[in-house]
Chain A
Amino acid sequence: MKNDMKKTCIFQDTEKTENTADLLEVAQRIYGQGQFESYAVLLADSCDGLQGAFDHIIQVAQGLVNAYDPRGICDILENLHKKHTFDSILIPGTSMGQMIAPRLSKRLRTGLAAGVIDINRQKDHVDIIRPACSGKIRESVLLTGNGPVMMSIRPNAFAYTPGTPLQTVVTSYTEPVRSPGAVKRLHVKENQQTCDIRDSEVLIAGGGGVKESFAELYRLADALKGTVAASRKLVDQGIAPRSIQVGQSGKTVSPKLYMALGIHGSMQHLAGLRQIASLISVNTSINAPVCSLSDIVVQGDARKFIDRLLKKIAVYRS
């Protein structure tokens, strides 16, 4: 291994272990393929799926630290950094990651780019891009300071394509944690399976334009593992229950995908939409206000659209 190889440390979050390798894509975008040495730091006792993807896997010995103790975890990462002097430390932007990353950045007194969604390598520097102002603005962030480049990475913003398998060295971290947090987990209650539209990442919403074919929306929602929502018009007419109404007098939703079928998009309706990553509208009029907020506007009848899209999905899945 070359001496000028950059070292990147990637922390594996216990919530979404399967996404850990995606952070390699971030390192690749910063340093270029094969130009860095990767370290994965794991609390889990299994390194399935990471063997061959990372140069090093550091497994934290069981019982050393609680997965919900950011202070203790910071101790370990700080120690590892002292030992290896990483050039970058990447932490998933999950709820626990967002408590670890800032704490570690303060401890190492280094800059931190939060919720990074994109990296563009330029000639002389790297553009680190994060969303600001409810996602309306893209910010390029410059990190100064002597410490490693630190980032928390928005989940699902990057996808890693495996290359040639690496020779992975697995080591164990056993040094006791000096200052663990004084926090105890008392109990965990799993959420019941409710279909609160606020919890759904995919919403298939219908408005006045689909009052004849509202039931069709459930087929599409099933296919996309989403939930059906409705505009006030349908609720008024008794076609949809009030509990699934989006808008000023209904609920405010922030799904990743919002599909607006036959929805005009009055101010009152749009007031219920916050931070929607992708919006597809299907409408006979492309001038409906909702269309101006859409990534894709499908002009035409919603029922036909559902039929044809479902067919396409069925073909793809078979």
Chain B
Amino acid sequence: MDKNQIIENLGNILTPSRVNTDSEDLYDASADRYKKYAKVRRVLDVPVPAAIVYPGSAQEVSQVLAFCNEHGLNVIPRAGKTATEGGLENWKDNTIVLDARHLDKILNIDFYNMQATVQAGVPLQELEDALRKQGFTTGHSPQSKPVAKFGGLVATRSIGQFSTLYGGIEDMVVGLECVFPDGHISRIKNVARRAGGPDIRHIVIGNEGSLCYITEVTVKIFRYYPENNRFTGYLVKDMETGIKVLREVMVNGFSPSVARVYSEEDAAQHFFHFHKNRCVLLFMAEGPEGIVQATCQAIEAAAKKFKAGIIEQVDDTLIADWFNNLNWSQKDIDDEFEAMKENDSHSGFTTEISGDWETIPKIYHNVIQRIRKEYPRAHDLTMLGGHSSHSYINGTNMYFVYNYRILCAPEDEMRVYHHPLQRIIVEETLKLGGSMCHHHGIGKFRNEWTMDEHGSAYYMLEKLKQAFDPKGIMNFGTIYPQKEGEIQNKPGPVITGRQRAMAHAVPSRLLLSCLKRLGVRDNEKGCERTRGYPIGMKIICVVKFVPDVDSMVCDVENNTLSGKNARIMHESG
């Protein structure tokens, strides 16, 4: 089916006005903030989708999905467009973007049962504003709050700045409605709790559009006590101290809504007016007065316990003020775009991981050391640091933040800078048993590690895909490493799994000679899995290997590749 036929058919299913083929909108829809810089510089290397479609009901979603499923068209579900990990990037020619723009109604706010039901395209800010008027809150406040919409928030397992008190979106969702590729509409009912088999909400929450399309969500709501908000901040001598204080507060059974520690470098870009080149530790307590008081006392006690590492307390009004100006609005995003047009720079990238209390400081240390030591463009880094911003009783997250002078062509930026940095972070995290994605989702650029992330449990994840999306039409490339035959048909950019990042750093001939020396041959049959990955317009090579990928190690420096079952099936360019 060609693009014109797709557009015509979609126009018949919905109405032509619900099918957007504006070239600028399609260009915009072909990538998300992951390739923000290449996008602004107009050098995106991915195909544009055929159309953006705006269904108005679950039935319409069902019809569109069934049509796509029948004809094998790739579908990218989309809501607020704030994705940062390639989840909205398009890797196929025949793709439609299913946008929740017209699923925009708040269906019910139930103050007695403390829950609100919205359609997938309702902006979080809109529900939050409606609740605030009545003295309530969603408790959900990601930095993207002014722009993000419920469909995306649930699909990506998003988390907000107050998560340490209210939890992530997975703790808030009561029930939902979603549509599967075959057109089936499922409604998960709203109950306080049940033991009716596995909690199937979690098949949907965090599926990143790779299993189904979310049309409706019911979330918990909370009473809002802004008058009780209290902020506390300290300058601390290192990250370890900060993390120890966070842990102390958490394990003693308190839940501040915000509990964060920033490295010196990261603190400098957030708290320029008081950081004094130190790590910054800060808390916000909210809720009923008695709880806030008790929480603040616990924070003080924890700080006292580790006073050797605490340099000074910060004026709490400075923290309050900073917090009230933290969110990114659409205008901030547009602004960054304008700036990227003019300058060879952007506002940086992040990679967020998580681990237990014991592991996080080790991961942080290992990552920073390894980047400084082995990253070939370390001298272009203008900033490298991180913060812990979401804590749990058993651990916390680490948000690595980095920025750099971009000295390469815009289309090479990710390959030269972000990819290799992210690779180090993910590898070091997985090595120590942490999770490579704390809250942005896997998207398309961490999919090569999905199996490493889940280990033997990947079996379950894989079965979900087979069961709900057997034809693989949902968000090609997201979460799931690709199987044989699913690699983009277009001539071009494919290289596999673990070798991807390495290929960024070494000449392709080196990679090929490595493989050849190890007797890796062309077109071997009987391989189970190929992991595809686009890295530009040149094919370097495609390697197939069986699932036992852990045993594949590329040692770039010694020009060797060790591993079993690796096969080159194609090479050119």
Q: Which residues of A does B touch, CB under 8 Å?
A: 232, 236, 248-249, 264, 266-268, 270, 285, 287-289, 292-293
Q: B338 on the interface (CB 8 Å rule)? A: yes
- Lowest 8 A-B CB distances belong to which pairs? A292-B273, A249-B335, A249-B338, A287-B317, A287-B321, A289-B273, A249-B339, A248-B339
B229 to chain A, nearest CB (A): 15
Q: B336 on the interface (CB 8 Å rule)? A: yes
B198 to chain A, nearest CB (A): 45
Is A285 touching B269 in the complex (CB atoms < 8 A)?
no
Is A268 touching B335 in the complex (CB atoms < 8 A)?
yes
A248 to B343, CA, bound (A): 10
Is A267 touching B269 in the complex (CB atoms < 8 A)?
yes
Also in contact, A248 and B273, with CB within 8 A (given A264-B325, A266-B325, A288-B321)? no
Residues of B close to A293: CB separation below 8 A? 273
Q: Would you list 5 pairs from A and B whose C-beta atoms are within 8 A, ordered by A residue? A: A264-B325, A267-B272, A287-B320, A292-B273, A293-B273
A293 to B135, CA, bound (A): 36
**One of B274, B317, B321, B335 near A232 (C-beta < 8 A):** B335
Q: B373 on the interface (CB 8 Å rule)? A: no
Most buried by B among A268, A285, A287: A287
Residues of A close to B315: CB separation below 8 A? 287
**Nearest CB in chain B to that of A247: its residue:** B335
Interface size on B, residues (CB 8 A): 18
Also in contact, A289 and B321, with CB within 8 A (given A267-B269, A267-B272, A270-B272)? yes
Q: B331 on the interface (CB 8 Å rule)? A: yes
Q: B332 on the interface (CB 8 Å rule)? A: yes
B336-365 to A contact mask, C-beta < 8 Å, 1/0: 101100000000000000000000000000
Q: Which residues of B does A touch, CB under 8 Å?
A: 269-270, 272-274, 315, 317-318, 320-322, 325, 331-332, 335-336, 338-339
Residues of A close to B270: CB separation below 8 A? 267
A239 to chain B, nearest CB (A): 14
Residues of B close to A267: CB separation below 8 A? 269-270, 272
B472 to chain A, nearest CB (A): 41
Is A248 touching B325 in the complex (CB atoms < 8 A)?
no
Residues of A close to B317: CB separation below 8 A? 287
B233 to chain A, nearest CB (A): 12
**Nearest CB in chain A to that of B329: its residue:** A236
Most buried by A among B273, B317, B332: B273
Is A249 touching B336 in the complex (CB atoms < 8 A)?
yes
Residues of B close to A264: CB separation below 8 A? 325
A153 to chain B, nearest CB (A): 32
Is B272 touching A236 in the complex (CB atoms < 8 A)?
no
A113 to B51, CA, bound (A): 66
A198 to chain B, nearest CB (A): 14
Residues of A close to B331: CB separation below 8 A? 232, 236
A249 to chain B, nearest CB (A): 4
Residues of B close to A249: CB separation below 8 A? 335-336, 338-339
B293 to chain A, nearest CB (A): 23
Residues of B close to A270: CB separation below 8 A? 272
Is A248 touching B335 in the complex (CB atoms < 8 A)?
yes
B83 to chain A, nearest CB (A): 22
B41 to chain A, nearest CB (A): 16
A268 to B337, CA, bound (A): 13
Residues of A close to B325: CB separation below 8 A? 264, 266
Most buried by A among B272, B315, B320: B272
